[in-house]
């Protein structure tokens, strides 16, 4: 207990808990639909596009979060506009994401800052989050969740049964664009915590685990957010206790939860 | 009385090819229509046009007296399944419920009205037992019943069923056709049921709509499934044989319905290779 009080006395730990809490809930809920729509690779690509944006912004002296957001939003809307299938076409996405990462490397080269800047962008630096960033994360998360709540119904319909949704008057392209814009927001947020290379760990791991644990939409959806939150916070505690990187612990917990759920499911199927 | 579906001088193109070239026909409320014809003859295209998803190049399509438009609540639709359904881990009930007013914005809340509608639709197709199982655990026939339950939501007056028998074994085919026929007799819904093979539908249908070569023939089995009519639709000499109450369409010594599909698949290969 005294160690917990000691941990929470540090303002950087308070900030880290607040930031990762906000981001985990957003990432878990948005990621749920990303997994449902089989677009997790598109989410991964968005984070790489965001890397180019963040390094480009740093080069221009602008805040990296702003640059990342601008790029991921543009990428998300474009992917959505190009049509449902494009967002699931992994070769085209693979080419674009490596191109974006390459651009990021070029921007870093001109920026000639410390390697620490690159590392924190790629692998996250939740312990370095300040109050201003937390406020930005909170505002963006509220906007993202409000937008998600507004489109959740047609989004679910379009994700489960696109042909019927289209016949019932759902604008598939509009829904895809809006959703990928929301996903872009979540990706930009998640990158602040676990870095662009590890957004999967919050956006795909917990939702995929939740979908294995429950077949009910209204159980699995909040469970995805809850798992993301638990993994993020437990990761922080473990990082504090061991002095190992937070991102490592979050990925380890996310992977372990997924593995256990998969194992449990195979047991259930066999039994 | 207003027709359920009325096509007037409809020319309908798909990918630069006319699949229907000047078609006039009327389908009356309460009819069970079997929609047949080789692949690429325009069965799916016709249904999408009735749904208002494709506009005809010329002519008009009316559904219960109003021009076809997307989001018509009078139409229930079971699209042809290409690959699996999304979200294999989701339970059947939630899958069906997603279609309940799914076009409205907001949260997909399962309120009492939605729950009741979903339960009724599941009961109508005898799928209550499937409601709590994940989609991945269902057989092809069970999935088709869930899709049929979705199509029944909102008590449509017209059901468009696009190849629901595909990948079902003969017994499941029979069961599904009998189920649709029962639903239709009970509610008076108009049914367009497309299929590769006429035989599973013989006991259920009122009239046949046979598509081919940009043309369409609508009538009873005896009027439409004849050598002259089908020879015109296939563009080649066709014979019709009846064996023990079953009907076989033969062209060049082979069964034309199947043969036409094979050729179609062959053509696609060439197109893809070129």
Concatenated DSSP letters for B44-101? HHHHHHHTTSS--SEEEEEETTEE--TT-TTEEEEPPP-S--S-TTSBHHHHHHTTTT
Q: Which fold has domain B5-82+90-218?
A: Rossmann fold (3.40.50)
What pLDDT shows up at residue B255?
63
Flag if A160 and B90 touch (Cβ within 8 Å): yes
CA distance B240 to A214: 53
* CATH architecture, domain A2-270: Orthogonal Bundle (1.10)
What pLDDT shows up at residue B267?
40
Average pLDDT over residues B152-172: 92
Does residue B145 have a pLDDT over 50?
Answer: yes
CA distance A222 to A200: 18
What pLDDT shows up at residue B84?
67
CA distance B251 to A87: 44
Does residue B268 have a pLDDT over 50?
Answer: no
What is the value of pTM for the model shown? Answer: 0.90
Task: Answer whether A257's CB lies under 8 Å from A231's CB.
Answer: yes
What pLDDT shows up at residue A196?
84
What pLDDT shows up at residue B239?
87
Of residues B70, B85, B98, nearest to A157 (C-beta): B98
Q: A215 touching B, CB under 8 A?
A: yes
> β-strand B17-27 against B5-14: which pairing, if any?
antiparallel
Does residue B272 have a pLDDT over 50?
Answer: no
Concatenated DSSP letters for B238-251? -EEEEETTEEEEEE
% of chain B at pLDDT higher than 70: 91
Flag if B106 and A150 touch (Cβ within 8 Å): yes
Cβ partners under 8 Å of residue A151, min gap 6 = A175, A178, A179, A182, B105
What pLDDT shows up at residue B167?
79
Digit-coded pLDDT (tens) for B70-113:
999 999 999 988 766 778 889 999 999 999 988 999 999 888 98
3-state SS, residue B190: strand
Give Rg (Cα) of chain B.
19
Chain B CB contacts of A152 under 8 Å are: 106-108
User: Which residues of chain A fall short of a pLDDT of 50?
Assistant: none
Dihedral of CA A95/A96/A99/A100: which sign? negative
Residues of A (157-186) whose Cβ lies below 8 Å from B: 157-170
Token output for B77: 């639709």
Does residue B264 have a pLDDT over 50?
Answer: no
What pLDDT shows up at residue B83?
66
Of residues A151, A162, A164, nearest to B77 (C-beta): A164
Does residue B50 have a pLDDT over 90?
Answer: yes
> β-strand B58-63 against B32-36: which pairing, if any?
unpaired
% of chain B at pLDDT higher than 90: 55
What pLDDT shows up at residue B174?
92
Which among B21, B30, B94 has a CA at the least distance from the CA of B57? B21
Where residue B254 falls among pLDDT bands split at 50, 70, 90? low
Q: A266 touching B, CB under 8 A?
A: no
In B86-242, which ranges are continuous DSSP H helix? 92-97, 112-124, 140-152, 170-187, 221-224, 227-234
Q: Distance, in angstroms, between A156 CA and closest chain B CA?
A: 6
ipTM strictly over 0.90? no
Cβ partners under 8 Å of residue B14, min gap 6 = B42, B45, B54
Of residues B75, B77, B86, nearest to A160 (C-beta): B86
Digit-coded pLDDT (tens) for A122-135:
888 888 888 999 99
Chain B CB contacts of A170 under 8 Å are: 102-103
Digit-coded pLDDT (tens) for B198-239:
999 998 999 999 998 888 999 999 999 988 898 888 888 888
What pLDDT shows up at residue A4?
82
- Phi, psi values for residue A138, rounded to 5°: -65, -45
Does residue B273 have a pLDDT over 50?
Answer: no
Average pLDDT over residues B50-74: 94
What pLDDT shows up at residue A1?
63
Of residues A152, A166, A215, nearest to B90 (C-beta): A215
What pLDDT shows up at residue A85?
61
| Domain segments of chain B as ranges | 5-82+90-218
Chain A CB contacts of B97 under 8 Å are: 217
Does residue B52 have a pLDDT over 90?
Answer: yes
CA distance B145 to B40: 26
Q: Give Cα B70 distance to the centre of its chain.
A: 17
Burial A31-42 (b: 16+ CB within 10 A, else e): bbbbbbbebbbb
Looking from the CA of A64 toward its CB, the CA atoms found within 13 Å total 27
What pLDDT shows up at residue B14?
82
- Interface A–B counts its CB contacts (< 8 A) at 106
What pLDDT shows up at residue B269?
39
Cβ partners under 8 Å of residue A195, min gap 6 = A120, A121, A122, A123, A124, A125, A247
Helix (H) or strand (E) holding B154: none
What pLDDT shows up at residue B265?
41
In A61-171, which ranges are continuous DSSP H helix? 64-81, 90-111, 115-123, 131-160, 162-167
Q: Give Cα A66 distance to the centre of its chain.
A: 16
What pLDDT shows up at residue B39?
81
DSSP-derived letter for residue A76 is H
Flag if A157 and B75 touch (Cβ within 8 Å): no
Flag if B107 and A36 touch (Cβ within 8 Å): no
Which among B195, B211, B194, B164 has a CA at the least distance from the CA of B37? B211
Mutate to test the interface with A, among B44, B108, B149, B164 (most CBs of A within 10 A): B108
Flag if B94 and A157 touch (Cβ within 8 Å): no
What pLDDT shows up at residue B257?
60
CA distance B198 to B225: 10
């Amino acid at each position: 207990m005294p160690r917990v009080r000691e941990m929470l006395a540090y303002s950087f730990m308070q900030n880290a808990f607040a930031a990762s809490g906000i981001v985990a809930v957003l990432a878990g809920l948005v990621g749920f639909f990303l997994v449902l729509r089989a677009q997790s690779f598109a989410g991964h690509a968005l984070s790489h596009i965001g890397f180019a944006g963040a390094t480009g912004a740093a080069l221009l002296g602008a805040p990296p979060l702003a640059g990342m957001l601008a790029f991921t939003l543009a990428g998300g809307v474009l992917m959505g506009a190009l049509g449902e299938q494009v967002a699931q076409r992994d070769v085209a996405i693979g080419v674009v994401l490596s191109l974006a990462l390459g651009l990021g490397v070029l921007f870093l080269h001109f920026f000639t800052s410390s390697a620490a800047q690159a590392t924190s962008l790629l692998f996250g630096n939740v312990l370095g989050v300040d109050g201003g960033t937390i406020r930005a994360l909170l505002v963006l998360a509220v906007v993202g969740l409000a937008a998600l709540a507004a489109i959740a119904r047609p989004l679910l319909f379009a994700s489960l049964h696109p042909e019927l949704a289209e016949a019932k008057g759902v604008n598939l392209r509009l829904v895809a664009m809006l959703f990928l814009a929301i996903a872009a927001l979540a990706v930009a947020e998640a990158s602040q915590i676990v870095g662009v290379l590890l957004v999967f760990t919050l956006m795909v791991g917990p939702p995929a685990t939740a979908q294995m644990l429950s077949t009910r939409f209204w159980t699995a959806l909040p469970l995805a957010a809850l798992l993301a939150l638990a993994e993020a916070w437990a990761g922080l505690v473990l990082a504090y206790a061991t002095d190992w990187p937070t991102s490592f612990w979050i990925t380890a917990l996310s992977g372990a939860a997924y593995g256990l759920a998969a194992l449990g499911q195979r047991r259930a199927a066999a039994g | 009385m207003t027709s359920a579906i009325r096509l007037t001088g409809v020319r309908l193109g798909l990918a630069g090819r006319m699949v229907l070239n000047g078609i006039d026909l009327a389908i009356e409320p309460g009819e069970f229509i079997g929609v047949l014809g080789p692949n690429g003859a325009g069965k799916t295209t016709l249904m999408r046009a009735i749904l208002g998803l494709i506009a005809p190049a010329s002519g008009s399509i009316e559904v219960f007296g109003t021009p076809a438009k997307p989001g018509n609540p009078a139409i229930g639709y079971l699209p042809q399944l290409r690959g699996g359904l999304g979200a294999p881990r989701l339970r059947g009930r939630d899958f069906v419920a997603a279609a309940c007013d799914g076009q409205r914005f907001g949260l997909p809340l399962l309120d009492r009205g939605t729950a009741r509608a979903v339960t009724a639709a599941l009961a109508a197709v005898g799928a209550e037992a499937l409601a709590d199982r994940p989609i991945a655990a269902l057989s092809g026939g069970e999935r088709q019943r869930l899709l049929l339950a979705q199509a029944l939501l909102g008590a449509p007056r017209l059901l468009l069923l696009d190849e629901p028998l595909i990948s079902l074994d003969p017994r499941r085919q029979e069961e599904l056709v009998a189920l649709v026929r029962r639903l239709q007799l009970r509610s008076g819904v108009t049914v367009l049921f497309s299929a590769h093979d006429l035989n599973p539908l013989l006991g259920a249908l009122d009239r046949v709509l046979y598509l081919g070569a940009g043309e369409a023939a609508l009538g009873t089995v005896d009027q439409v499934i004849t050598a002259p009519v089908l020879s015109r639709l296939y563009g080649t000499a066709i014979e019709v044989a009846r064996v023990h109450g079953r009907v076989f369409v033969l062209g060049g010594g082979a069964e034309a319905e199947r043969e036409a599909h094979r050729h179609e698949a062959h053509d696609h290969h060439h197109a893809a290779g070129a």
